[in-house]
Amino acid sequence: MVHLKKTISAFVFICFCLKAFPQDSRGKNEIGLQVGGSFYTGDLAPSIGGTLKTARPAIGIYYNRYLGNYFSIRANLMAGGLFGDDSLNANPEYMRRRKFRFHSPLAEASLLAQFDIFGTNGSIPTNKISPYVFAGVGAAFINVHRDWSRIDSSMIHVGGSTLAGLIKDSSAQMPNVLPVVPVGAGIKYHAWPRVALTFEANYRIAFTDYIDGFSYAANPGKNDGYYSLTIGAVYNFGGGSGSGGGFGGGRKSRRGSIGCPTKVY
């Protein structure tokens, strides 16, 4: 009899624990905060990946809504900056002589479709890690300030291609709003039942060669772009799905007043 009472007491205790920390307490909604850097890639960058030397601080906030085990829809806002400087490049030599430079503030709004690779939306995996990829559409708001005042005078002689390019570029209208296509990947670490830590890389495909203010004087055959590297935290809220935190259904149970199953169908 004593053992039976102990067993019942232990079972009640476990039920209360499951009630306090259930999988299905996780909702379909998330809000996240990100901090990191934004990086320019284009005519003033030494390689296709740009350089960490031109990093500018960036901060973002987003809302994510689960649509199922794998997919979610996400609305992003980000603020940062973009910067490029020829003089930071050790090679090639013509860039050191050219010494083009630009900077711009950056604001961005985007809508993303996110795919959880392991299908762990609404649940916490055993290893607490959820990798994901995403893509979408957005708009970037910039205000380009370009500078060619430090250029080596030998590069702007009459008849030279650099001078001819600068003449064309100086008459071009700089864009203030850019359509962009964000594509990227991230990792979510579920540190607590409702809070996860994130690391994310997000590249933006742009459709202009004037993010840096230069085209014909640099490389008119290639568009510019930018990317961000961020760390962050995301908070899950909004109530559970009622089926173990996921979206796959499964056997449902009727619960008593203390949250313990009384009958299983």
**Domain-embedded: residue 256:** no
**Domain-embedded: residue 53:** yes
CATH label of the domain that carries residue 58: 2.40.160.20
Tell me which amino acid residue 227 is. Answer: Y
CA angle 105, 34, 64 (to 5 degrees): 110
Q: What is the pLDDT along the chain (265 residues), one digit of tens a residue?
A: 444 344 345 434 444 443 444 444 579 999 999 999 999 999 999 888 888 889 999 999 999 999 999 999 999 999 999 999 998 887 788 888 899 999 999 999 999 999 999 999 988 999 999 999 999 999 999 999 999 999 998 888 777 889 999 999 999 999 999 999 999 999 999 999 999 999 999 999 999 999 999 999 998 999 999 999 999 999 999 765 444 445 554 334 334 444 445 444 4
Give Cβ neighbours of residue 6 (< 8 Å, ≥ 6 apart). none
**Domain-embedded: residue 249:** no
> What's the domain range around 122?
26-244
**Domain-embedded: residue 94:** yes
User: Could you give the number of structural domains in the chain?
Assistant: 1
Q: How far apart are CA 54 and CA 227, in angstroms?
A: 12
**Domain-embedded: residue 3:** no
**Domain-embedded: residue 173:** yes
**Domain-embedded: residue 150:** yes
**Domain-embedded: residue 252:** no
Give this prediction's pTM.
Answer: 0.81
CB 105 within 8 A of CB 142: yes
